[in-house]
Chains A and B, each alone.
Chain A
Amino acid sequence: MLPDQLVFAMEVTLNGLMAGVMYALVALGFVLIFKASGIFNYAQGVLALFAALTLVGLQNGQIPFAHLINAAFGTDLHSFGWTLPAALAIALTALVMVGLAWAIERLILKHLVNQEPIILFMATIGLAYFLEGLGDVMWGADIKTLDVGLPQGISEGIEAVTAEWFGYGFFIDRLDIVATLVAAALVAALTLFSQYTKYGRALRAVADDHQAALSVGISLRFVWVLVWSIAGFVALIAGIMWGAKSGVQFSLSLIALKALPVLMLGGFTSIPGAIVGGLIIGMGEKLFEFFAGPLIGGATENWFAYVLALLFLVFRPQGLFGERIIERV
């Protein structure tokens, strides 16, 4: 039998890793856009929120802009009166995200070609607030439950097995296990896509040098719509996972902030970095809370990730997997 403290720590570690997967899912969206366009997309968290809102709305047959329409025309509309199957609702939401990507390119990016990164960054801040407002007006500000048939509750299988091994059953959320599997599949798919397809190669080319990409016949617009669509899709998945875990609410957009230390750890340009960074942050903050929390009064999860990121900025500014920054003189 292992000592209790160690067994608890193992459970905490596992839970931390799984929480880290959730952070990684958001960070992944950031990395994709940063790699392809050098834009730090502040709106990634809001994209996840918007995707989750749209998914719930479509699934429950909610009429978009119902409040606005009712207020303007004195009607009393609320619902189309249908409930779509989860798979169909997800597919439709994915289409909406592609449309959104197209609109973002058309209305924002197209006009900001060759601008300083800080200007594009500001544009994404604007986009974030706009989308948050749009989501509110379209689907309402109430907290919604998202049910796409993902397993909920504690995994009894793991509890039973660990109880047999350690004499203590681990509490692992089933949803976290699904999220882990989905994230793994997503990373594998994205890596294969970017390494082995012509679109992936075009994407990497645009990320590297716009002029050179143009000169071999790559359309920047197409690539940007593609990459924002993929980021929208990743946001949708993150939105589903977070929504299923804690309900679809506007604080969801704040998870984007936790993705920031994840990116500093993993490097802004590395897909594996986003995953490993997420895992380290998730695990780190849970373990730190477990061991050091009681000594210094708890609530360390609020700041631990940021302090860790700060340390990384001092000692390894490019992150674990980021490209080394070499300045030639």
Chain B
Amino acid sequence: MNALDVTMDETGADERRIGGVLMEMKNITLRFGGVKAITDISFDIREGEIRAIIGPNGAGKSSMLNVISGFYVPQEGEVWFRGKRRPQMKPYEVAQQGIARTFQNIALFEGMSVLDNIMTGRLTLMKTGLWSQALWWGRAQAEEVEHRAKVERIIDFLEIQHIRKTPVGRLPYGLKKRVELARALATEPKLLLLDEPMAGMNVEEKEDMCRFILDTNDEFGTTIALIEHDMGVVMDLSDRVVVMDYGKKIGDGTPDEIRSNKAVIDAYLGVQHD
């Protein structure tokens, strides 16, 4: 089913169902030279849920996200996606499998307009071949129109109509983050990875972003895994939380369970490790 075909009226707000395991990380270990960024971590992400990865600075959260999206290759461990073990893949192949992401430091095409940036998210969904594209043959044109319509819907959804034609380089930080989310959504991902979607935002922008993340999950049923520092945000948004510290997993469960987890509290309050 095409996620974007679901309109607001068709799904009730309460229709959120959490399904089976979409992605499973098994005993992942990642080293940079002698430094262990991730040590033997396992966790899963279920279909339709919002899964948060939290932890102090340098805990290995971004590394974990980079493993999922194929930017880093772990030395040990297995990545399972949709019931199959994933062979070693290039980041673009991972993206083609339906895993979209945003970056901590925003990676947009600065020279292109907002619309063109989001259109790049449709590239791998376009089916016409090189020659008909080059010659702008019938199918190619019809396809462009079709994809354009979907992109316009995402633009409406994220309330960025007023900047559609603006070159991204000129946008303020908060809007750039939103455009990046739009581009990721345009790929119609099965799994959406957000690396600190709210970093550096003011309260108002954070609230907006929260709303968009929840709405995305609600309306498109998109599974989301996110890294975030703002504890309040994480506890409000997510269904389940993985806690990392010094590259190890120290907690995994619902926000309530995490709040009362001794190891987690210690890590955040800086209790002496023995």
Using a CB–CB cutoff of 8 Å, the interface residues on chain A facing chain B are: 192-193, 196-199, 201-202, 204-205, 207-209, 211-220, 323
Instruction: Please name all residues of chain A whose beta carbon is closer than 8 Å to the beta carbon of B144 when the two chains form the complex.
Output: 196
Contact assessment for A215 and B111 in the assembled complex, using a CB-CB cutoff below 8 Å: no
- Chain B residues in 8 Å Cβ range of A205: 109, 112, 120, 123
Chain B residue contacts of A198, Cβ below 8 A: 122-123, 126, 128, 133
Q: Once the chains bind, are A192 and B91 in contact (CB under 8 Å)? A: no
Min CB distance B190 to A, Å, is: 13
Q: Given contacts A198-B133, A202-B120, A217-B187, is CB(A208)–CB(B91) below 8 Å? A: no
15 residue pairs from A and B, CB less than 8 Å apart: A196-B144, A198-B133, A201-B119, A205-B123, A208-B110, A208-B111, A208-B112, A213-B109, A213-B120, A216-B100, A217-B95, A218-B120, A218-B124, A219-B93, A220-B92
Q: How far is the CB of A59 from chain B (nearest CB, A)?
A: 26
Inter-chain contact A199/B133, CB cutoff 8 Å: yes
Beta-carbon contact of B134 and A193 below 8 Å: yes
- CB of B108 within 8 Å of the partner chain: yes
Interface residues on B, range: 35 or more
Q: Bound state CA distance, A217 and B184, in angstroms?
A: 10
| Contact yes or no, B112 A204, CB < 8 A | yes
List, in ascending order, chain B residues with CB within 8 A of A207's CB. 111
Per-residue A-contact encoding for B131-149, CB less than 8 Å = 1, 0 else: 0011010001000100000
Assuming the A-B contacts A193-B134, A199-B134, A204-B112, are A212 and B107 also in contact, with contact meaning beta carbons closer than 8 angstroms in the complex?
Answer: yes
Q: Is the CB of A192 within 8 A of B110?
A: no
CB distance from A218 to the nearest CB of B (A): 6
A174 to B134, CA, bound (A): 30
Report whether B92 and A197 are in contact in the complex, using a CB–CB cutoff of 8 Å.
no
Residue of B nearest to A222 (CB): B92
Query: In the bound complex, do residue A202 and residue B107 qualify as a contact, i.e. CB atoms below 8 Å apart?
Result: no
The interface residues of chain A lying within 8 Å CB-to-CB of B71 are 211, 214
Q: Contact between B108 and A209 (Cβ–Cβ < 8 Å)?
A: yes
Other A-B pairs beyond A198-B122, A199-B130, A209-B107, 8, CB < 8 Å: A198-B123, A202-B123, A212-B183, A213-B109, A213-B120, A217-B187, A218-B123, A323-B111
A214 and B109: CB pair below 8 A? no
The answer on a CB contact under 8 Å between A215 and B101 is: yes
Residue in A192, A193, A202, A215 whose beta carbon sits within 8 Å of that of B95 in the complex: A215
> Which A residues are in CB contact (< 8 Å) with B95?
214-217
Measured CB to CB, the closest approach of chain A to B148, in angstroms, equals: 12
Please classify the interface of chain A as helix (H, G, I), strand (E, B), loop, or mixed, using the class held by over half of its residues.
helix
Contact A215/B123 with A201-B116, A208-B110 known, Cβ cut-off 8 Å = no
**Cβ contacts under 8 Å, A216 to chain B:** 95, 100, 120-121, 123-124, 183-184, 187
- CB-based contact A215/B124 at 8 Å: no
Q: Knowing A204-B112, A208-B112, say if A192 contacts B123 (CB, 8 Å).
A: no
B interface residues with partner A (beta carbon < 8 Å): 69, 71, 90-93, 95-96, 100-103, 107-112, 116, 119-124, 126, 128, 130, 133-134, 136, 140, 144, 183-184, 187
With A196-B136, A204-B112, A212-B108 as contacts: A219 and B123 at CB distance below 8 Å: no
Question: When chains A and B are docked, how far (Å) is the Cα of A313 from the Cα of B188?
Answer: 46
CB neighbours of B187 from chain A (8 A): 216-217
Cβ B133 vs Cβ A215 within 8 A? no
Q: Is the CB of B123 within 8 A of A197?
A: no
Q: Are B134 and A217 in contact (CB under 8 A)?
A: no
Nearest B residue to A192 by beta-carbon distance? B136
- The reply to whether B96 and A217 form a contact with Cβ atoms under 8 Å apart is yes
Query: Do A197 and B136 have beta carbons less than 8 Å apart?
Result: yes
B194 to A: closest C-beta gap in Å: 12
- How far, in Å, is B112 (CB) from chain A's closest CB? 6
Partner of A212, one of B93, B109, B119, B128: B109
Beta-carbon contact of A219 and B92 below 8 Å: yes
> A214 is contacted by which of B91, B108, B112 (Cβ under 8 Å)?
B91
Chain B residue numbers with a CB within 8 Å of A218 are 92, 120, 123-124
- B77 to A: closest C-beta gap in Å: 22
**Inside 8 A of A220's CB, which chain B residues have their CB?**
92
Interface centre among A198, A201, A209 (most CB of B within 10 A): A198
Q: Which 5 A-B residue pairings sit nearest by Cβ, starting from the closest?
A: A217-B95, A212-B107, A217-B124, A208-B109, A214-B91
Given A204-B111, A209-B108, CB of A215 within 8 Å of CB of B134: no
**Bound CA–CA A52/B186 (angstroms):** 44
B133 touches A197 (CB 8 A): yes
- Give A7 Cβ to nearest chain B Cβ, in Å: 44
A209 neighbours in B (Cβ, 8 Å): 107-110
Considering the chains assembled together, what is the distance between the CA atoms of A208 and B140 in angstroms?
Answer: 24
Query: Complex formed: what's the CA distance from A187 to B91 in Å?
Result: 33
B123 touches A211 (CB 8 A): no
CB neighbours (8 Å) of B69 from chain A are 215
Instruction: Tell me the smallest distance from the CB of A72 to a CB of chain B, in Å.
Output: 40
A50 CB, nearest partner CB in chain B, Å: 24
- The residue on B at minimum CB distance from A195 is B116
- Specify which chain B residues have a CB less than 8 angstroms from the CB of A213 in the assembled complex: 92, 109, 120
